[in-house]
Amino acid sequence: MAIGIFDSGLGGLTVLDAAQKRLPDVEFVYLADSANAPYGVRTADDIYDLTCKAVQRLFDAGCDLVILACNTASAAALRRMQEAWVPDDKRVLGVFVPLIEALTERQWGDNSPPREVAVKHVALFATPATVSSRAFQRELAFRAIGVDVEAQACGGVVDAIEDGDMILAEALVRSHVDALQRKMPDPQAAILGCTHYPLMQEAFQAALGESVKVFSQGHLVGESLADYLERHSDKMGSGGSAYLTTGDPKRVSDRATQFLRRQIVFEAA
Ligand code: DGL
């Protein structure tokens, strides 16, 4: 029984960690495409090719359901994969929708027409590829009207986190928040639209101020995965838990252990 969780690197561990806490009896296979991270500065075609290759690796490991715990892949590749590539007996899901449902106060799968919601001014922090895809704004427009979204492409933050340089990551977060606030001085809510950013959640919250509600994906994806599995128990797959990386397993294990504060051992994908 294994569910696949994919990210370009370490960010998806924030989703994995929440999913493991919510579903302690489920086995997960995590794949970090560390050799090719970051994805956020790549073209959509490149992200599509790399994501298909990584997801195929998770299918080969026995996963029938794969979560793209990567907003960049969800934004730039997921729709095309679902339309043209995913086999009928497999499912690939993204991480955008649970977040947007939380922001727009919707229950899972509520497909009623868009309506006015409490929050009017939203700051979106994401990778350059996610921002330029406008996928977040598109999904939001299906569910809410009258919400003003200001997006900030946070160049450099993912590289700094992958390198373990948290001082640089923190400085970059402050400067990206500052740039956002020059465009939108008083956001009511902020979306951490990259799974790496919850690792810097305190820095985002401190720079934004306590009055801004910060949304991140971990537990929201955990909840919606639990809900999905209740309705699709056939998608549990086969095989046991594993942590796979296309990068250097020792280096990736050290960083992952530092981030999750428990021993994580990666092996070569
Ligand atoms: N953690 C990923 C995301 O959610 C990808 C970051 C990257 O590789 O640039 O967007």
pLDDT in tens, 94-118: 998 888 998 998 887 788 899 999 9
Using CA atoms, how far apart are residues 38 and 32, in angstroms rounded to an integer?
Answer: 11
| Catalytic annotation present for 194 | yes
Name the pTM for this structure: 0.94
C-alpha distances (whole Å) from 178 to each of 1, 11, 192 are: 45, 23, 15
Stretch (H or E) spanning 58: helix 44-60
Name the DSSP class of 220: H
Using CA atoms, how far apart are residues 36 and 51, in angstroms rounded to an integer?
Answer: 10
CB of 71 within 6 A of ligand 1: the answer is: yes
Using CA atoms, how far apart are residues 203 and 23, in angstroms rounded to an integer?
Answer: 28
Given the residues 52, 63, 70, 154, the one annotated as active site: 70
The residue-averaged pLDDT of 134-150 equals 94
The residue-averaged pLDDT of 218-241 equals 83
Using CA atoms, how far apart are residues 132 and 153, in angstroms rounded to an integer?
Answer: 8
Find the 69 Cα to ligand 1 centroid distance in Å. 8
Give the 3-state secondary structure of residue 197: helix
Stretch (H or E) spanning 5: strand 2-7
Residue-level pLDDT at 173: 98
| Catalytic annotation present for 63 | no
Q: Is the pLDDT of residue 121 over 70?
A: yes
Which amino acid is it at 142?
F
Residue-level pLDDT at 147: 95
The residue-averaged pLDDT of 187-206 equals 96
Q: Is the pLDDT of residue 1 over 70?
A: no
CB 92 within 8 A of CB 82: yes
Residue-level pLDDT at 82: 96
- CB count within 10 Å of CB 183 equals 11
Q: Is the pLDDT of residue 247 over 70?
A: yes
Which of 182, 192, 193, 196 lies closest to 212 in space, CA to CA? 192
Q: Whose CA is nearest to atom 2 of ligand 1?
A: 70
| 97-215: CATH class | alpha beta
Tell me the percentage of the chain whose pLDDT exceeds 70. Answer: 98
The residue-averaged pLDDT of 211-239 equals 85
Which CATH code of 3.40.50.1860, 3.40.50.300, 2.30.29.30, 3.40.1260.10 fits the domain covering 2-94+218-268?
3.40.50.1860
Mean pLDDT of the chain: 94
Using CA atoms, how far apart are residues 155 and 126, in angstroms rounded to an integer?
Answer: 9
Q: In the chain, which residues fall in CATH 3.40.50.1860?
A: 2-94+218-268, 97-215
Highest mean pLDDT among 84-88, 224-228, 232-236 belongs to 84-88
Residue-level pLDDT at 165: 96
